[in-house]
Amino acid sequence: MVMLGVNQWQSSLRILSESVLSMGFMLEIFCRTNGSDDQNDSRASVKGESARLRHDHHGCCHQTMKSNNSHSQEEDLKKETSPTNSHITTLDSRFNQTLRNVQGLLKGRSFPGKVLITRRSDPPDGAILGSPGASRSPSEIDSPPNKHMDGPSEDQIRMNKPDTSTSGNKLKQSMSNPEDRSKEAPRFVMGARATDTARLVKFTKVLGGTTVILDKLRELAWSGVPPYLRPNVWRLLLGYAPPNSDRREGVLRRKRTEYLDCVAQYYDISDNERTDEEINMLRQIAVDCPRTVPDVTFFQQAAVQKSLERILYTWAIRHPASGYVQGINDLATPFLVVFLSEHLEGSIDNWSIADLDSEKISDVEADCYWCLSKLLDGMQDHYTFAQPGIQRLVFKLKELVRRIDEPVAKHIDGQGLEFLQFAFRWFNCLLIREIPFHLVTRLWDTYLAEGDALPDFLVYIFASFLLTWSDKLLKLDFQEMVMFLQHLPTNNWSHQELEMVLSRAFMWHTMFDSCPNHLAT
């Protein structure tokens, strides 16, 4: 009986070892487009699991040979029974632990944009490092613990015995301004990917240099930026702040002064000095500001609406080719929230702009104005007469959906629904009105990381967003589809759903963008 049990374990270990080797090969193929350190570490983790399984297998065989040599005498067999049972129990524990590790490896901690499968890194010396701020996605925080989650099991904790004090000291030495970080990190609930310890170290390394290498910063920011780093990262990604740290403070000071001069020249004047067109434009902005993000009480404060009005009117006057277009008011809100987060603590629901002095408010407005200008410079034809840029992208979206999910495309077309009827608002407001506002800044991390390629990448994001409900759409008629697409069920979305949308978008972009013939009619 003992020999039979050992043979069964041998067979199971051999099969699992071969499966792990296969998974290593699959991971290598799946992650071939990503050259990050995470990919190499993932393959190393899989190879390590396979090597350990082989070690267990050889150990099992060695134990079996010992049992055969002692089987000649009945007394020796009785003596061997207890150690063999102990060995099987130990083997069972190690087998279960290996299985849990493989499950965790397959599951990954999150679904980032450019690394679709990630691993839970095991720090040296068996220490488990905790991330400053939130270390789990909102979906994980809101739900009860699950035995299949990536967190360390009780067995792992007993085996690893982490030295938290040593790990904490190393982390503090690697990060700048630890006091500010401890204050600001809890402001927003972020997905685990954005606050992963290794990523924080990488962000600190990239931002700590005399000259920031923007390509590396874009690669990191694509998968999410920690909240307390986001203001500086966004300024750099948009080209508002220079990469050279020696010039940064002076450039920001000059730009903020220039914004104040523009406000004094164009906004702080009487209507007698404005043309009729400018008066009408200012009135339209004043009407739209109270409608901006109506489900967030912070934007209903009169002082906040006045700041938005100054930013939007100044931008419209200085960009006469497009002027003010409804929807641009939504695009200013992420910038306003991110730059105010440098001065206001806690939840946005408890913020009051009246707590800030006029100088800080002016600096925040200036940063919003210049970053909005940088963003819209790359897509200004989205807001010129007839908005030809948006119409062009809606046509590309229709073709992409037809290639990815032809049944859905045929159903939408068969019901007589035009993509322009629902996708126009998506491109006009960049999905701000379609998802919960607490997810907008995470989405915009990816937007800004794309840089000049953003308009084309929006097509893939919106295709992924639409096809999230492909099964549902196939069951709806025209009227039901219009109502559904106007009020999409995203109120309960967490970072996990958003990361899935971005992951699919990246995958399809990799498949189709380099092969334009795939999109040919």
DSSP 144: P
Give 368-381 pLDDT, tens digit per residue.
Answer: 999 999 999 989 89
List pLDDT tens digits, range 76-99.
444 444 444 555 555 555 556 555
pLDDT of residue 446: 98
Instruction: Provide the sign of the torsion angle of the four alpha carbons 256, 260, 266, 271, taken in this order.
Output: positive
Q: What gap in Å lies between CA 367 and CA 399, rounded to an integer?
A: 37
Q: pLDDT per residue over 319-338, tens digit each?
A: 999 999 999 999 999 999 99
Query: What's the CA gap between 397 and 403, in Å, rounded?
Result: 10
**Which contiguous run of DSSP H or E holds residue 445?**
helix 440-450
pLDDT of residue 180: 44
- Binned at pLDDT 50, 70 and 90, residue 123 comes out as very low
Q: What was the pLDDT predicted at 308? A: 97
Residue 176 near residue 204, CB atoms below 8 Å: yes
Which candidate, 142, 149, 204, places its Cα nearest to that of 176?
204
Tokens of 136: 């789990």
3-class DSSP state of 325: coil
Tens-place pLDDT, residues 386-414? 999 999 999 999 999 999 999 999 999 99
Q: Residues 406-423: what's their mean pLDDT?
A: 96
pTM of the predicted structure, to 2 decimals: 0.65
Record the tokens describing residue 422, joined without a space.
């629902």
- Per-residue pLDDT at 154 exceeds 90: no
Strand pairing partners for 211? Answer: 244
Write the DSSP string, 79-134. Answer: HHHHHHHHHHHHHHHHHHHHHHHHHHHHH-S---SS-SS------GGG--PPPSS-
Among 84-93, 172-181, 262-271, which stretch is predicted with the lowest mean pLDDT?
172-181
Residues 6+ apart with CB under 8 A from 14: 57
Determine the pLDDT at residue 8. 53
What is the amino acid identity at position 153? Answer: S
Q: Is the pLDDT of residue 354 over 70?
A: yes
pLDDT (average), residues 156-177: 40
Predicted confidence (pLDDT) at residue 46 exceeds the cutoff of 70: no
Structure tokens at 70: 């002692």
Per the CB < 8 A criterion, the answer to whether 36 and 73 are in contact is no
pLDDT value at residue 145: 36
The whole-number pLDDT of residue 187 equals 39
Which carries the bigger pLDDT value, residue 165 or residue 470? 470
Mean per-residue pLDDT, 459-487: 97
C-alpha–C-alpha distance, residues 427 and 457, integer Å: 11
